[in-house]
Amino acid sequence: LSELEALMERMKRLQEDKEDEEASQEEMATRFEKEKKESLLVISGGICAFPVLFSFDDEMVSTDVSRYIEDPGFGYKDFARRGEDHLPTFRAQDYTWENHGFSLVNRLYSDIGHLLDEKFRMVYNLTYNTMATHEDVDTTTLRRALFNYVHCMYGIRYDDYDYGEVNQLLERSLKVYIKTVTCYPERTTKRMYDSYWRQFKHSEKVHVNLLLMEARMQAELLYALRAITRHLT
């Protein structure tokens, strides 16, 4: 099977398995912990030194992102150290965007909650209902796996989600790409972009980038707004 056909077959099998039998809460918690630990071991695409040269076919584009930061040591750090037995978990059910973050941010800055919520929903639901050359495809399962994997990297768990789906739908090269784009965007290269879903259209892969960035932003907001809520109470 081609990469595309194999992915569609896995999506179909997941849907059939879900209809036949759902995993228990204990199984889903175990799968989340496994995925969370493994996400710490995913190495992003290469070591970055400023300035960076990105190759787009024959054109070389130079970028110096250091001009945008004041602290040279500023950058992403994993939410936990590798090798730790008990990694922290942010249970989304305890503090959700819909039930907690939205109302707080709206109170702090009038109407910004509505704008952010509209942006999150629009990007999450964005689809052409296609997968490369296939039309009328329900991509909900795949989009949710992408979104939840980003939150998993930040230690956020959804109790109603089976994280076994992440491992079945997102191959290793895609996980490397996701971590790089989400955590170290300055290291992203065209070679990495080309390395996953080779049969997909550019527009579909741009959808992936948008989804990753919005998932990251929501994860950061959840941590920040939860801290503010605790301070206020």
Q: Which of 14, 49, 81, 45 is nearest to 178 (CA)?
A: 45
Per-residue pLDDT at 52: 46
pLDDT band at 71 (very low <50, low <70, confident <90, very high): confident
Helix (H, G, I), strand (E, B) or coil at 171: coil
The Cα-based distances of 49 to 63, 64, 75, 185 in angstroms read 11, 9, 13, 13
Question: Hey, what are 212's tokens?
Answer: 């990753």
Residue 220 CB contacts under 8 Å (≥ 6 apart), including other chains: 154
**DSSP conformational letter for 110:** T
In terms of pLDDT, which residue wins out, 123 or 187?
123
Per-residue pLDDT at 49: 42
Q: Which of 139, 159, 109, 160 is nearest to 211 (CA)?
A: 139
Mean pLDDT of 93-101: 95
Asked if the model's pLDDT at residue 19 lies above 60, the reply is yes
In terms of pLDDT, which residue wins out, 31 or 41?
31
Residue 155 backbone zone (phi > 0: left; psi -120 to 50: alpha; other: beta): left
Sign, CA torsion 12/15/21/27: positive
| Helical H segments across 82-201, by residue range | 102-108, 112-124, 140-153, 164-169, 172-183, 190-194
**Residues 22, 27, 29, 31: what is their CA dihedral angle, to the nearest 10 degrees?**
-100
In the predicted model, what is the mean pLDDT of the chain?
86
| Helical H segments across 189-232, by residue range | 190-194, 202-232
Instruction: Report how many helices (DSSP H) and strands (DSSP E) the chain contains, helices first.
Output: 9, 6
In terms of pLDDT, which residue wins out, 125 or 2?
125
